Amino acid sequence: MGEKTMPPPYTGGCQCGAIRYEFSCEPLTVYTCHCTDCQKTAASAFGMSVRVKAENFTLTKGEPNSIDIVADSGRTKTGLFCGDCGTRVCNKPGANGPQVVVKAGTLDDPNWFRPIAHIWTRSAQGWFPFADGLPKFETAPEDPAALNELWDAHVAGG
pLDDT confidence of 101, banded at 50, 70, 90?
Answer: very high
111-153 pLDDT, tens per residue? 877 899 999 999 999 999 998 899 999 998 888 789 989 988 8
SS3 content of the chain, % helix, strand, coil (to 5): 20, 35, 50
69-95 pLDDT, tens per residue? 887 777 888 899 999 999 999 998 765
Question: Can you tell me the distance from the alpha carbon of 19 to that of 22, in angstroms, rounded to the nearest whole number?
Answer: 11
Q: What is the DSSP letter of 107?
A: B
pLDDT confidence of 2, banded at 50, 70, 90?
Answer: very low
Cβ proximity of 139 and 73 under 8 Å: yes
The domain limits of the chain are 10-155
pLDDT at 71: 78
User: What's the number of CA atoms in the CB half-sphere (13 Å) around residue 71?
Assistant: 18
Q: Looking at per-residue confidence, does 84 or 156 come out higher?
A: 84
Q: Which of 15, 21, 17 is nearest to 101 (CA)?
A: 21
Instruction: Look up the CATH architecture of domain 10-155.
Output: Alpha-Beta Complex (3.90)
31-55 pLDDT, tens per residue? 999 988 888 888 899 999 999 999 9
Distance of CA 43 to the CA centre of its chain: 15
